Structure 1
């Protein structure tokens, strides 16, 4: 049996591919939900809104191939040719024209549609929630993974951000010091992001012929985009808040966000149905403090993560470890594919 630590995209895809190979596994997830940094909020009669991973491009063929294999659609992210732009606090928002860039895409039904589809392909008893792994012990022919329960396997796949396992899991014997140092200095993509979204019953921006895209140097919102569903029949706007605002309370952030949007879009912003936000630095199963500041994608894709350890019984996986597009959904898919290839080859 293979023990997979982490039920994000990489971990679930690893399980799906192992099942196709006829190799038994268990997935252990610390949270009470699957998906990791993919988290779509669903409400009846409202647009699905993304608190986590959202976009991909035509440059991400492995993710696209997976969606096609699973029968999941994709659609182009709507992008205004003219956008609101706040250059600084001394000037009101202005409407400016931007060049047309390579399109971004979103997953039909929300990004969690991919997660939920993968879960449905697995046996329910093989995905175990509320199992924060505390210790991994390597013996001659087996691995013991200790969480709320103890699981024995032939090998273990770490499908979570490197900082989390380097700081939160005790290894017996200990992992190499150099590997641990690199892991602790590996940036976790989105770990300090704050996402915010508002749902609406009507697209007031369309009725008033307003851009629905915003770029701001003022804040708290720094980027804001259309988040309507693929049929453009349920309406939402979604974007990012400057991470410095994590020091404020939920109610303080919400008030500042609504004030900023009223100044730009007008009073009809207050017609929103729901306000949602996710401060990823408050997610203990995503965020881990760093001793020193890390730059975006620091050590992502480092070759040290693609080696096998403890006689092929430790496989390091997860989006940040991928050989290509580390930190993104494409990286998570590539990492899972590479991990399963290693497992299959080591069993020959």
Structure 2
């Protein structure tokens, strides 16, 4: 690990906010990252791991403690125990979109719809990132991580990470702490070997985005190219010349609500069913077991609804600002809160609070922020 002169996090986060930490460390190898974390934990000081800075909203006051920049890189191809598949083990600091580009070039399917998502590989499982029907949970096999409680490095199967809709046991949700305080060192993905030929495209969300029928086909490179075009059109591909991309991506999560609540929303509100648990675990205390197993409960699956639609229907249009604030919605996408140039974290927080209040007043639903908030409150 290498101590470096601390820089304002406004220079290292895509929202361009954040004060200067007391100490900053660059970790370029896994051993350096482990050493830096163990040292920070031993001191008992505050600490923050920084990857691409694309999922952080940081306050402008100076930060106490240490910021550890994860700069590890590398992709290792491994055999898969499943026929027709291959595995990629990737260092935590590796750029996510670079991984997707590598997988597509190698003819490996499972990540292509997540092209253009900013950030690092180590952050992807924490957030269980996803787009157009693909999610990390569908291909992640395991992660190597280090636990704060013990300082030990271990390999953890994906099914022990509590991966759900934009969440995991490692994520610090707004107003809470993570269930497991640990840092990912590397992640391993199991991908289908499909080559460069056109093939059927699974998933209605992805087919709709690509303009394909159920019988339509596309190559991995065609899917990647089209997704990058779509994301760029929404200001969701980082561009130093475009203020619409000076954001943390989608600032608010698409809300997952009960089917009954979804019916209370206008029918025009875009919605998608959330896949139900097809194999729920039923636990019957031995003392209460009478030899019969009750029929499984049936209920309607939850529904994911469009936060962008709710925001716009609450009267907040793309490009909206609270004058004279330098924070505003993207002119291309209602979910992206953007720094139009020199905006403070306080200005962005004011805009976020205004949007939440308007949507709640109009639809009775409180939108939840997607980025991790550091040194700032909504």
TM-score of the aligned structures, taking structure 2 as reference length: 0.24
Name the one with the larger helix percent.
1
Higher relative contact order, chain-length normalized (CA < 8 Å, sep 6+): 1
Q: TM-score with structure 1 length normalisation? A: 0.25
